[in-house]
Amino acid sequence: MQPKQYIASMVLGICIFLTVTASSQPAPDGQYPSGPDYLVPSYPPDMSNTGPNYPNYQGPQNGPGMNPSPADSEGGHPATGPDSLQPLSAPSGSNTEALSYAEGQSLSQQDVALSGGLGGGLSGGSGSSDMAFMMVAGLQVWTRYNGIWTVDPAAVFFWRSTSLLSYNDQAQTVWSWERYPNGQQNWRNLGYRMPGYFHGRFIGDARGWHELAMWGSRSGWSNVVWIYVW
C-alpha cells in the first residue's frame, strides 16, 4: 500500500471512531433534539391555587337552585304586624282561666254561645242575636275576659291564662301573631283551616301589654286585641 493511501485510511478510520463514540454518549439535560419522540405531554393547568387571593379569581358563581325562591303566598306571612294603638290604661286582671278546649280546636256556634256572652261593645244581648253579630266577614278575634267574649282590652295575672276565639270566614292558611312588651314578634302557623270558629289560648308569660291578631293567606289581617299581664 502506498504511504499516501495508508495515511488517508488512518484518518478516515479515526473520524469514524470519533463519530461512533460521540453518538453513544448521553446528551446533557435540556439538549434533546426536537422530534416526535421527545415531545413533552400537555397537562391541564393546575387549578389548586385558584382562590380569592388571586387576581383572576371571580368568586363562586350562582348556579341553578342557589338563589332563594320567593315566599309562597299561601304559606308565608307578612314581615311585620298590623298597626294598632296601645290602650291608654289597663283593666284589672281577670279571675278566670282558659277554657278546657285544645289549642286550635274547632268550635260550633253552640260551643261559643255556652262558653260566654258577648261584651266589649259588640252586642249587649245573648243567645242567637249575639251569634248572628259574631258571624262577620274576614278573620275576627275575641278575648275571653271575666267570662265574656270581647274585642276590648283585657288583662290576666302573671302566668295565668285566658281563651281566644277566632272566626275564619273562608278556607285558607291561618297564622297567629303576637307582639310582646319588649317588641318581640311571635308567629305560629295554625295550618289550612276551613270556615268556622276555633279556640286559642293565651298565657301571660311576660308582664306588660301583648298585642295579638290573626292573619289569613286570603283574607289578610284580623282585628287586633290587647291583653295586659299584671
Between residues 142 and 44, the one the model is more confident about: 142
Question: CA 23, 26, 29: angle at the middle one, nearest 5?
Answer: 130
Distance CA(175)–CA(18), nearest Å, equals 100
Segments of the chain assigned E as strands: 106-107, 117-118, 140-145, 148-150, 154-156, 161-168, 172-179, 185-193, 196-203, 208-216, 220-221, 225-229
| Structural domains of the chain ordered from first start | 106-229 (2.60.40.1930)
Using a 10 angstrom Cβ sphere, with 0-12 exposed, 13-18 middle and 19 or more buried, the burial of residue 214 is: buried
What are the DSSP calls for 82-97, one per residue?
Answer: ---PPPSSPPPPPS--
The phi-psi region of residue 21 (left if phi > 0; otherwise alpha if psi is between -120 and 50; otherwise beta) is: alpha
pLDDT digits (tens, 9 = 90+) for 98-133: 999 999 999 998 899 888 766 544 433 344 445 544
Which of 13-17, 125-129, 189-193, 214-218 is predicted with the least confidence, judged by mean pLDDT? 125-129
Q: Is residue 41 predicted with pLDDT exceeding 80?
A: no
Q: Is residue 187 predicted with pLDDT exceeding 60?
A: yes
Mean pLDDT of the chain: 74
Q: Within 10 A of 121 (CB to CB), how many other CB atoms are there?
A: 9
Between residues 30 and 182, the one the model is more confident about: 182
119 neighbors 150 (Cβ within 8 angstroms): yes
Question: CA 151, 152, 155: angle at the middle one, nearest 5?
Answer: 110
Q: Is residue 176 predicted with pLDDT exceeding 90?
A: yes
The sign of the torsion formed by the CA atoms of 10, 13, 17, 18 equals: positive
Closest CA to 98 of 157, 57, 45: 157
